[in-house]
Amino acid sequence: MAEISRRGFLGGAGALAAAGWLAPGFFRSERAAAQALAGLASPRGTTLEATIVPTGSGPYRRLTDGPGRPFVVRAMGVEPKAGREDRRVGVASVVHLTDVHVIDAQSPARVEFLDRYGNPFTSAQRPQELLTAQVAESMVRRINDIKRGPVTGRAFDCAVSTGDNIDNQQQNELEWFLTLLDGGPVTPNSGGPAYEGVQDQDPLTFDPHYWHPEDEDPEGDQYKKTFGFPAYPGLLTAAVAPFTATGLKAPWFTVNGNHDGLVQGNAPESSAIEAIATGSVKVVNLPAGISPEDFQRGLVEQDPSVLAALAVAPARPVSADPKRRFVSAAEFAAAHFHGTHQGHGLTEENLDAGTLYYTFEVAPAVTGIVLDTCNRGGYAEGSIDPAQLAWLEAQLKAASSRWFDSAGTEVRATVEDRLVVVFSHHNLATMDNVFPDPSTGGQRVTGAAVETLLHRFPNVVLWVNGHSHENRVVPHPDPAGRTGGFWEMLTAAHVDYPQQARIVEIVDNRDGTLSVFGTTVEHAAPPTTAVGATDVLGLAAISRELSANDYQVGLATALGTPEDRNVELLVAAPFDVAGSTAPGGGRGKGEANRATGGELAATGGLDAGFGLGAAALGAALALRRRHPTPP
């Protein structure tokens, strides 16, 4: 089932121009380009140094190395002050992973056939979706290679994966995801020993609506005939082959998303759907007489007539697999404690209460608050329940010596002040799901109420999330002017273009302001692809290329504007943060911490012709190979 907001077709040169692709020669000189990186401790391996861009023409475009993208400076309620690069003290360094969507692409519970009906079903099947495990591994290798924040040089305090870690609420997907981030042997295959799914060459069920990588006939399917997709013979076998996952070297924390807690991210689990998931029959088209909309509604709302119709829908035989069963919220939590898994933020209290929200220490002066925004009543968008809202208020009070009650009266308390970063799967714009959730008594609380609560606490400076599969940064000033407000940072998905993560660094500028730096990161696979690639990085490269050519993806929307990608976000410091930091923060280092590209633009060091203001200028850096040798 598709999130309605995820896709919207944009293609061709217009989309690329809107996405802000930066061309060589944009700077006056290479010296100016080099200056844009001079103030950074360790930009290597990030999109500050270089990025991957489409090249060539035609309906199917290959990828290549392109120039880096500097920081764009944005401020909310404060002014950027000169010299802050020499004063700043690193407070926290966090890796943001989101929407990894580790997919069992062969599962009988998938509804790929809805994809052909257009919005809102256009993420029911992706040409690259059988390569999600390899993309996750490629991203882990990149993060391990980078090791630290590019601005402060602070070693990563942690990584946080903000939901839709898996795609279909299945046990095998969850096991793969946990192993991919913790390390160990992974076999991203289910059912029989060979691939059995909609992209194979089975002559009895071959469907031209899907991309078939083994078929070299350019007329074989719509992806090749209409959109110029190539063939990659051997891909299906390589995609389900075992490999050893490296595992993140930084501690990592988990967040629950709608695809982690609902079938296809939309439907509550049921015995009827689970029997299909674990069984030997895969539905390949709609039951007779049922529209796509009624089919979706019937699954979400458990309509007996729709569930019964699945028994006579067009289908194909597949190998059964009991590990395709659905995991409950309690089982999701328990899986994070199996074997070598250490909970990843979840605690015994979560196991006892059956909840998936918690707090953790991001860094010595920073508390992370993880929300569970999945509405288990159904549908893709999010919300929380009243009990979680009350819990959230209690956690905010525990981290704040000064806050405002619901009537606007200032309250003082004797507690140690801490910066607060909220992590969730859904973003504010998509927390509007009030469909009754029987698991929490039916009532739901939307994003508007959560935002109102957050604005009462000056220590909340950042909300990090995903769900919409795009890079986006949104300021949220306090309407009442009592606090400095907070920034909302969305990061693009691993499963869809541009397949990026983000490094989030919080620094105290020692002038009454904080800066939140967000730096996008591409996974370790090279931009170029090869027919016959069977290694992990070769398959991840093919996935990225396929995702960049998915005709249903809005390239410009997913990538974001320059103000949504590499950013420095200024906000008022609610207290003396640097006094609470631990060693390793990386205070200003003179020549090693000189101005970012945004500050150079502000001082007139760069051309100002991009049309988005001087702070949005791009760095046309000498291209470098950024792809380390696999360990």
- By mean pLDDT, which of 5-19, 251-265, 457-471, 498-512 is the weakest? 5-19
Pick from 475, 395, 484, 460: nearest CA to 428: 475
The reported pLDDT for the residue numbered 594 is 27
The reported pLDDT for the residue numbered 1 is 35
Residue 614 scores a pLDDT above 50: no
Rounded Cα distance between 483 and 506, Å, is 18
Pick from 49, 40, 234, 37: nearest CA to 622: 49
Pick from 185, 190, 164: nearest CA to 1: 164
Rounded Cα distance between 179 and 435, Å, is 34
Mean pLDDT computed over 392-401: 98
- Token reading at 454: 């957050």
Rounded Cα distance between 284 and 287, Å, is 9
DSSP 88-155: -EEEEEEEEE----B--TT-TT--GGGGGG-TT-TTS--TTGGGHHHHHHHHHHHHHHH-B-TTT-PB
Q: Cα–chain-centroid distance for residue 12? A: 25
Predicted confidence (pLDDT) per residue in 523-561, tens digit? 999 999 999 999 999 999 999 999 999 988 878 889 999
8 Å CB contact between 359 and 368: yes
The reported pLDDT for the residue numbered 311 is 86
Residue 451, CA distances (Å) to 351, 369, 487 in order = 28, 14, 11
Is the overall model pTM greater than 0.75, yes or no? Answer: yes
- Position 621 confidence tier, pLDDT thresholds 50, 70, 90: very low
Q: Return all residues near 381 (Cβ < 8 A) that are at least 6 apart.
A: 3, 258, 375, 426, 430, 431, 432, 433
The reported pLDDT for the residue numbered 118 is 79
- Percent of the chain past pLDDT 90, that is, above it, reads 76
8 Å CB contact between 527 and 65: yes
Rounded Cα distance between 388 and 286, Å, is 38
Predicted confidence (pLDDT) per residue in 35-44, tens digit? 556 678 889 9
- Position 120 confidence tier, pLDDT thresholds 50, 70, 90: confident
Residue 73 scores a pLDDT above 50: yes
Residue 616 scores a pLDDT above 70: no
Mean pLDDT computed over 602-616: 29
- Token reading at 529: 């692809």
Average pLDDT, the chain: 86
Rounded Cα distance between 340 and 182, Å, is 8
Predicted confidence (pLDDT) per residue in 322-375, tens digit? 999 999 999 999 999 988 788 999 999 999 999 999 999 999 999 999 999 999
Where are the alpha helices (H) located in 486-631, listed in sequence order? 536-548, 555-559, 597-602
Element (H, E) at 50: strand 50-55
Rounded Cα distance between 285 and 209, Å, is 12
Mean pLDDT computed over 308-330: 94
The reported pLDDT for the residue numbered 38 is 62
The reported pLDDT for the residue numbered 352 is 93
Backbone Cα Rg of the chain:
24
* Token pair 């509550």: residue: 268
- Token reading at 346: 């979840």
Dihedral angle sign, alpha carbons of residues 480, 568, 504, 468: positive
* Token pair 């004063």: residue: 87
Predicted confidence (pLDDT) per residue in 139-173, tens digit? 999 999 999 999 999 999 999 999 999 999 999 99
Of 598 and 176, the structure prediction assigns the larger pLDDT to 176
Q: Domain 12-194+240-280+318-616: which topology?
A: Purple Acid Phosphatase; chain A, domain 2 (3.60.21)
Q: Give the bridge partners for 252, in sequence order.
A: 159
Rounded Cα distance between 572 and 246, Å, is 39
Query: In the chain, where are the structural domains located?
Result: 12-194+240-280+318-616
- Token reading at 108: 């009988």
The reported pLDDT for the residue numbered 580 is 62
Mean pLDDT computed over 46-72: 95
- Position 582 confidence tier, pLDDT thresholds 50, 70, 90: very low
DSSP 373-394: -B-TTSSSSB-B-HHHHHHHHH
Residue 554, CA distances (Å) to 99, 211, 405, 522, 527 in order = 16, 19, 42, 18, 20
Rounded Cα distance between 554 and 557, Å, is 5
Predicted confidence (pLDDT) per residue in 463-503, tens digit? 999 999 999 999 999 999 999 999 999 999 999 999 999 99
Residue 631 scores a pLDDT above 50: no
Q: Give the E-state strand segments of 386-494 in sequence order.
A: 402-404, 410-412, 419-423, 460-465, 472-476, 486-490
Q: What are phi and psi of 2, to 5 degrees?
A: -105, 140
Predicted confidence (pLDDT) per residue in 552-561, tens digit? 887 888 999 9
Pick from 18, 173, 63, 42: nearest CA to 498: 63
8 Å CB contact between 287 and 111: no
Q: What are phi and psi of 150, to 5 degrees?
A: -70, -25
- Position 613 confidence tier, pLDDT thresholds 50, 70, 90: very low
Rounded Cα distance between 159 and 139, Å, is 12
- Token reading at 174: 């969850």
Q: Give the E-state strand segments of 243-385 in sequence order.
A: 243-245, 252-255, 281-283, 315-317, 358-363, 366-370
Q: Could you give the maximum distance between any two Cα atoms of the chain, in Å?
A: 72
Q: Give first-to-last CA distance, the chain, whole Å.
A: 37
Predicted confidence (pLDDT) per residue in 443-461, tens digit? 999 999 999 999 999 999 9
Rounded Cα distance between 374 and 163, Å, is 9
Residue 9 scores a pLDDT above 50: no
Of 278 and 23, the structure prediction assigns the larger pLDDT to 278
The reported pLDDT for the residue numbered 555 is 80
Q: Kind of pairing, strands 419-423 and 366-370?
A: parallel
The reported pLDDT for the residue numbered 612 is 31
